Structure formats: structure tokens, C-alpha cells
């Protein structure tokens, strides 16, 4: 018997499938989702840098860096100019010219040891590079002003003479040559003057050429002519401490202490890491009898270069003139004997040198300060060292006897009878 099909009413197992109506919104959503996946795969992912990989930083062109450094130098921003050349060296450490220009800037900034190092690096890269040899000779001369015991003026002369042989047509080389000649032997002023004038003829707008003319005139005592040449250099670049120092020296030599101090302060502002302006300010104040201010500036110089025995000697000399004998003894002892200073700095002592009148003065001032404070054993040793070490120095031998008189070891000389 044929039975009709059976259906379970209300059951989900209904075997008759009902047709669902399509949803346009859902289809649109799916299409957008598929398009998004394709975009991410083909566009976003290729442009995304891999994780944990350093993104390369664009490197500046050395030529642009050098242009910037020259502009900074002209503006007197020597620290920034140094940084620019150091950046150029980092990019191309085999370029001797970068080390040479860095050394030149460092001389103007008063960083003479660093300048010697960088000029030497340039010569290691190119031994026959004339400008590098000239800058090294020039830097050695400046270093000798601060640390005569560590600088070699004869080596400076050798380097500059080699530079002249390599490039006799360089105005810069001739200018440096003039300065080194007069520093090595002031009696050679005529040869130095010829070299300086030759540099000006080659390039009248070269700062170092005008400075060289002024320097030669200054060393020969022609301060008016020197002042004129330094003014010419100042017109070329008014933002360099070295030129303001030179002008200050001219004021000082003409007895105009206040104008000299103003120039030195301007120089110190432009080159805050240079101890020379600070030493000169102290000297100018001392000449006017303002030893307290002189001591302050001498201390500032020590703070910049605490390992320099000469700066400690300068400070001790100012303390002595200000009758602060205990402080004078402390500073002069470091200059002469050496020893530890603040923050672990070690100072090397300076042996007595008959050819160094400033160092001789350190010795007899130290002995006098000791005698005035009753430390006569040490004072007597200083007196003996002066009498035997610099017998031809009348000022030193006079003070050596004064030390013994203060300590009661000899009688003062009898006063001549007056009529």
C-alpha cells in the first residue's frame, strides 16, 4: 500500500530545504574585505620596513658640511665649526684636508694640543701636504706659549720650512712662516717681515697674512704699525678671539689697561676654552694693583686647564702680590714640585730653567712666601737653588738673599752712610 510521505511538523529536521534570499549588504562587505586584504598584501607590506632593522639616516654631503663650517668660522662660532669638520671626518676619515682645517680652527679656539694632534693626523695621511705641515708648525708655536717644556720650536721651524719647499706660492704658508721665524729668533725680524709682506701681496684678504704683519711689528716693538695691521685683520673677521687678544696687547703696551681688559674680555667671550685671554686679564689687573680680581681670573684659567703647572704658578704669583701667602705657597708648590690637584688631576712640577724668567720668578716668590710664613727649612732650600742655579740673574740672587734675611740666617747688609 502506497503511503504518502510523512513530515515532522515543527522539527528542524525538516528535509525540505527553503531557499534563502541573498543579502546585498553582506555581499558588499565581503567584497570590501577581499579588496582590503589584497591592498595590504600588495601595497602596505612591501613598504613596511622589517622589524628590528635600523632605518638608514640620510648622510649629508661633505661639501655642504664644509660650506657650513666656513660660515660658522666667519661668524666666530668655532665650537660649531669644529663639530662640522668632525662630522666630515666621520664621513671621510681619509681626507687630510678635513684634519688640517679642523686643526686651524682649533688654534683660533685656543685648543693647541688638539690642533697639534689633528695636523699630525693630516700629515700621516699625506706627508707632503704643505698646508698640513704649516698648520702643525703654527700650532706648535702657540702650544709653546702655554707649555714651553712640552713644545718644540725647532720642530715647528722644520715643519714650516718643509711647507715652504712644498708650496712656496701659498700665502697661508708664508704667513705662518713669518710668525714661526720671529718666534724662533726675534733677531730674524727682517726675514720675518719679508715673509709677512709677501703673504699680504699674494692675498691681501687673507686673515692670517694681515695678522702675520701685525705680529712681526709687535715683536719688534712697533706697536702703532702692529695696531694698524691687526685692525685690517679685524675688518676681515671681527669674530675671532685671537685678533682681539692682539689688539688688547697693543693697548696694554701703550699703558691703556682698561681698553686692554675690554679686548681680552671680548676674546674670552669668543673663545671660552682659551686660557690666554684669562691670563692676560689677570696680568692687566695686576699691573693696576687690583690683585684680587687678578687672582680670580688666574683661578679661572686653572679651572680650564688644571694640569698646567704654569697656570698654577700664575695663580700663586697673584696670591703672593695680594699678600695671601698661604694660598701662594699652595699654588706655587704645585707649579714647582707638582702633585695631586682637585678631582684626581696630577700636576707635573717644573725644574728651574735659567732661560725662563717667569719660572725663575715662581721660584723666588715661592721662597719668599715660605720665609714670610716661617717655613724656613723649605725657604732656605729655594734660596740655595736660586743662588746655584741662576747665579747671573741679579733679581733672583737678590731675592735669594732676602729669603735668608727673612729667616734670620744672614744679617741684612749695612746701610751706606749718608752725608
Q: pLDDT tens digits, residue range 31-73?
A: 666 666 565 456 544 554 454 444 444 567 888 999 999 999 9
Q: Is the dihedral of CA 348, 349, 351, 353 positive or negative?
A: positive
Contacts of 54 (CB under 8 A, 6+ apart): none
Q: Is residue 16 part of a domain?
A: no
Q: pLDDT higher for 320 or 15?
A: 320
Q: Is residue 108 part of a domain?
A: no
The confidence score (pLDDT) of residue 7 equals 35
Mean of the pLDDT values across residues 255-263? 95
CA angle 352, 285, 106 (to 5 degrees): 70
Measure Cα distances from 165 to 55, 310, 313 in Å. 49, 36, 40
Residue range of the domain that includes 389: 351-419
**319 shares its domain with 380:** no
Mean of the pLDDT values across residues 350-356? 93
Q: Are 371 and 403 in contact (CB under 8 A)?
A: yes
Q: Is residue 317 part of a domain?
A: yes
Taking 90 as the threshold, does the pLDDT of residue 370 lie above it? yes
The confidence score (pLDDT) of residue 42 equals 60
Identify the CATH number of the domain in which residue 272 sits.
1.25.40.10
The confidence score (pLDDT) of residue 11 equals 38
DSSP for 291-305 reads HHHHHHHHHHHHHH-
Taking 80 as the threshold, does the pLDDT of residue 12 lie above it? no
**278 shares its domain with 339:** yes
**Lowest mean per-residue pLDDT among 63-67, 133-137, 201-205:** 63-67
Give percent of the chain above pLDDT 70: 84
Q: With H, G, I as helix, E, B as strand and everything else as coil, classify residue 110.
A: coil
Mean of the pLDDT values across residues 180-193? 93
Residue with cell 709677512: 196
Taking 70 as the threshold, does the pLDDT of residue 133 lie above it? yes
**308 shares its domain with 391:** no
Give the three cell numbers for residue 160: 714650516
Q: Is residue 342 part of a domain?
A: yes
**283 shares its domain with 302:** yes
Residue at which a domain ends, from 324, 350, 376: 350
Give the three cell numbers for residue 237: 673677521
The whole-angstrom separation of Cα 53 and Cα 59 is 18
Q: Is residue 102 part of a domain?
A: no
Give the three cell numbers for residue 205: 684678504
Mean of the pLDDT values across residues 242-263? 95
**343 shares its domain with 396:** no
**299 shares its domain with 309:** yes
The confidence score (pLDDT) of residue 106 equals 94
Mean of the pLDDT values across residues 7-35? 49
Taking 50 as the threshold, does the pLDDT of residue 14 lie above it? no
Q: Is residue 127 part of a domain?
A: no
Q: Is the dihedral of CA 237, 242, 246, 248 positive or negative?
A: positive
Backbone dihedral angles phi then psi of residue 390, each to the nearest 5 degrees: -135, 60
Q: With H, G, I as helix, E, B as strand and everything else as coil, classify residue 62.
A: helix
Residue with cell 686692554: 260
Q: Is residue 20 part of a domain?
A: no
pLDDT band at 8; cut points 50, 70, 90: very low
pLDDT band at 273; cut points 50, 70, 90: confident
Mean of the pLDDT values across residues 285-298? 97
Mean of the pLDDT values across residues 329-336? 98
**344 shares its domain with 361:** no
Taking 70 as the threshold, does the pLDDT of residue 28 lie above it? no
Q: With H, G, I as helix, E, B as strand and everything else as coil, classify residue 126.
A: coil
**384 shares its domain with 287:** no
**345 shares its domain with 269:** yes
**344 shares its domain with 358:** no
Taking 60 as the threshold, does the pLDDT of residue 309 lie above it? yes
Residue 42, class by beta-carbon neighbours within 10 Å (0-12 exposed, 13-18 middle, 19+ buried)? Answer: exposed
pLDDT tens digits for range 145-157: 777 666 678 899 9
The confidence score (pLDDT) of residue 39 equals 55
Residue at which a domain ends, from 328, 350, 372: 350
The confidence score (pLDDT) of residue 284 equals 97
Half-sphere exposure of 257 (CA within 13 A, CB side): 11
Q: Is residue 220 part of a domain?
A: no
The whole-angstrom separation of Cα 226 and Cα 221 is 9
Residue 47, class by beta-carbon neighbours within 10 Å (0-12 exposed, 13-18 middle, 19+ buried)? Answer: exposed
Q: What number of other Cβ atoms are within 10 A of residue 355's Cβ?
A: 8
Mean of the pLDDT values across residues 81-99? 95
Q: Could you give the maximum distance between any two Cα atoms of the chain, in Å? A: 178
**332 shares its domain with 361:** no
Taking 70 as the threshold, does the pLDDT of residue 416 lie above it? no
For the chain, what is the domain count?
Answer: 2
Residue at which a domain ends, from 350, 374, 405: 350
**371 shares its domain with 341:** no
Residue 306, class by beta-carbon neighbours within 10 Å (0-12 exposed, 13-18 middle, 19+ buried)? Answer: middle
**What is the C-alpha R_g of the chain?**
37
Give percent of the chain above pLDDT 90: 75
Amino acid at each position: 500500500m502506497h503511503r504518502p510521505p510523512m513530515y515532522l511538523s515543527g522539527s528542524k529536521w525538516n528535509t525540505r530545504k527553503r531557499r534563502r534570499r541573498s543579502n546585498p549588504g553582506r555581499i558588499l562587505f565581503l567584497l570590501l574585505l577581499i579588496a582590503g586584504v589584497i591592498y595590504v598584501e600588495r601595497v602596505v607590506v612591501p613598504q613596511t620596513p622589517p622589524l628590528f632593522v635600523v632605518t638608514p639616516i640620510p648622510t649629508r654631503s661633505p661639501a655642504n658640511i664644509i660650506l657650513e663650517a666656513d660660515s660658522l668660522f666667519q661668524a666666530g662660532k668655532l665650537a660649531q665649526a669644529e663639530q662640522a669638520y668632525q662630522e666630515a671626518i666621520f664621513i671621510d676619515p681619509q681626507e687630510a684636508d678635513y684634519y688640517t682645517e679642523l686643526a686651524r680652527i682649533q688654534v683660533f679656539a685656543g685648543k693647541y694640543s688638539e690642533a697639534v694632534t689633528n695636523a699630525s693626523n693630516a700629515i700621516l695621511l699625506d706627508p707632503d701636504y704643505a698646508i698640513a705641515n704649516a698648520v702643525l708648525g703654527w700650532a706648535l708655536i702657540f702650544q709653546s706659549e702655554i707649555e714651553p717644556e712640552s713644545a718644540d720650536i725647532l720642530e715647528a721651524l722644520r715643519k714650516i720650512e718643509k711647507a715652504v719647499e712644498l708650496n712656496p706660492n701659498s700665502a697661508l704658508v708664508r704667513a705662518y712662516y713669518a710668525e714661526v721665524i720671529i718666534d724662533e729668533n726675534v733677531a730674524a725680524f727682517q726675514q720675518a717681515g719679508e715673509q709677512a709682506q709677501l703673504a699680504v701681496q699674494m692675498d691681501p684678504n687673507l686673515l692670517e697674512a694681515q695678522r702675520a704683519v701685525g705680529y712681526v711689528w709687535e715683536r719688534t716693538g712697533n706697536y702703532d704699525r702692529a695696531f694698524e695691521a691687526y685692525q685690517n685683520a679685524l675688518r676681515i673677521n671681527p669674530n675671532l678671539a685671537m685678533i682681539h687678544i692682539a689688539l688688547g696687547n697693543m693697548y696694554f703696551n701703550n699703558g691703556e689697561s682698561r681698553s686692554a681688559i675690554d679686548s681680552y674680555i671680548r676674546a674670552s667671550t669668543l673663545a671660552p676654552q682659551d686660557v690666554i685671554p684669562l691670563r692676560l686679564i689677570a696680568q692687566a689687573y695686576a699691573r693696576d694693583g687690583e690683585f684680587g680680581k687678578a687672582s680670580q681670573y688666574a683661578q679661572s684659567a686653572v679651572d680650564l686647564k688644571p694640569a698646567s703647572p704654569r697656570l698654577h704658578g700664575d695663580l700663586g704669583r697673584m696670591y703672593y702680590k695680594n699678600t695671601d701667602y698661604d694660598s701662594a705657597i699652595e699654588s706655587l708648590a704645585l707649579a714647582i714640585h707638582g702633585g695631586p690637584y682637585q678631582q684626581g688631576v696630577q700636576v707635573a712640577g717644573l725644574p728651574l730653567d735659567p732661560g725662563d724668567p717667569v719660572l725663575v720668578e715662581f721660584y723666588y716668590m715661592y721662597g719668599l712666601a715660605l720665609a714670610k710664613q716661617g717655613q724656613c727649612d723649605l725657604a732656605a732650600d729655594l734660596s740655595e737653588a736660586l743662588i746655584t742655579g741662576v747665579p747671573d740673574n741679579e733679581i733672583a740672587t737678590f731675592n735669594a738673599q732676602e729669603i735668608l734675611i727673612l729667616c734670620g740666617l744672614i744679617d741684612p747688609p749695612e746701610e751706606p752712610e749718608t752725608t
